[in-house]
Amino acid sequence: MKSVLLTGASGFVGKRFTSRNLDKHNIKSISLQTTQVNEIDFTGIDTIVHLAGIAHRMEKTEDSLYYKVNFELTRDLANKAKENGVKHFIFMSTIKVYGDEHDMLTLETPCTPNDAYGKSKLMAEEYVESLISKDFKVSIVRPPLVYGPGVIGNMKKLIDLVGKRNFLPLGNIKNKRSMVGLDNLIAFLNRIIEKEVSGIFLVQDDKPMSTSDLIRTIAKSRNPNLKLIAIPGLFQTILKKLVPEIHKRLFGSLVVDDHESKRRIDFKSALSFEEGIELMIKEN
């Protein structure tokens, strides 16, 4: 049983990480909102799982806050961890370090972030990577959209929408988008903890899904009577012109190639996409 220092324990991923690992790790949770890095006791800690950070926000957020929380706090925590003999530092990053111009993401895809969120995460990645040594391993995880019990944001809005409507004009969409179920992500983190491997990792469920497949799968548990109808091409064109960001989320593709990442740690997803969605609806 490893002794794990967990940041971001009150967040979406952190809560589930704790509840799923009560018998697997000796977890010590800290809040970097109330505890200064210099006040942390690293005694006996084998691994740090650093989940704390500010994610991309729809509301206006000063760029300086992203850099302070996502970069500076990560830098300071990693420095202190290495100074105090911690052997393994796991940093939860994001695919937003790649920017928004790619349809396929691999470990070789150049990182060209175009907002403060992605830039601050990439800066943190580059700094903690510079600390790697034979006695200090660093693992960086770049997940796509994470869904699961307790999900908020756009996925929660979509669940609510599916539950309220008899018809949705989102049928016959043929895009491909990578997502990762919360429990699959946690199992992936556990495997990295076990293997103690430095490097950058991509992760997704076993296969990407289309927007229509996602809605159809949610509807099986939330609203079996929902009917999907194809959206007219003219409306798609208007939507793309007026609100390109929404059009991209609904109709665009973004696929993560995680084959090499999973091979390196000999990992297989515990849950299928369908099982993950069903669990999300059941426990949400």
- Nearest alpha-carbon partner for 32 in 59, 14, 58: 14
Q: Classify strands 137-142 and 88-92 as parallel, antiparallel or unpaired.
A: parallel
Q: How many structural domains is the chain composed of?
A: 2
- Contact, 28 vs 40, CB < 8 A? no
Same domain, 35 and 101: yes
Q: Which domain holds residue 221?
A: 153-175+210-251
Same domain, 15 and 123: yes
What was the pLDDT predicted at 94?
A: 97
pLDDT string in tens for the chain (284-residue length): 899 999 999 999 999 999 999 999 999 999 999 999 999 999 999 999 999 999 866 667 899 999 999 999 999 999 999 999 999 999 999 999 999 989 999 999 999 999 999 999 999 999 999 999 999 999 999 999 999 999 998 899 999 999 999 999 999 999 999 999 999 999 999 999 999 999 999 999 999 999 999 999 999 999 999 999 998 888 888 888 999 888 888 999 999 999 999 999 999 998 999 999 999 999 87
Burial 249-284 (b: 16+ CB within 10 A, else e): ebbbbbbbebeebbeebebebebebeebbbbbbeeb
Q: Is residue 191 part of a domain?
A: no
Same domain, 100 and 157: no
What was the pLDDT predicted at 59?
A: 66
What was the pLDDT predicted at 257?
A: 97
Same domain, 72 and 166: no
β-pair partners for 200: 140
The residues, ordered by sequence, that sit 6+ positions from 200 with a Cβ below 8 Å of its Cβ are 107, 125, 140, 142, 261
Q: Is residue 270 part of a domain?
A: no
Give residue 1's identity as a one-letter amino acid code: M
- Contact, 113 vs 97, CB < 8 A? yes
CATH number, position 72: 3.40.50.720
How far apart (Å, rounded) are the C-alpha atoms in residues 186 and 16? 8
Same domain, 136 and 222: no
Same domain, 121 and 244: no
Q: Is residue 278 part of a domain?
A: no
- Contact, 253 vs 175, CB < 8 A? yes
Q: Is residue 201 part of a domain?
A: no
How far apart (Å, rounded) are the C-alpha atoms in residues 92 and 189? 9
Q: Is residue 29 part of a domain?
A: yes
Same domain, 170 and 128: no
Same domain, 125 and 222: no
**H or E segment to which residue 7 belongs:** strand 2-7
From 120, 142, 164, the end of a domain falls on: 142
Q: Is residue 200 part of a domain?
A: no
Same domain, 86 and 36: yes
Same domain, 115 and 235: no
Quote the distance between the C-alpha of residue 83 and its chain's center. Answer: 28
pTM for this entry: 0.95
Dihedral sign for Cα 37, 43, 44, 46, please. positive
Q: Is residue 260 part of a domain?
A: no
Same domain, 103 and 81: yes
Same domain, 91 and 171: no
Q: Is residue 259 part of a domain?
A: no
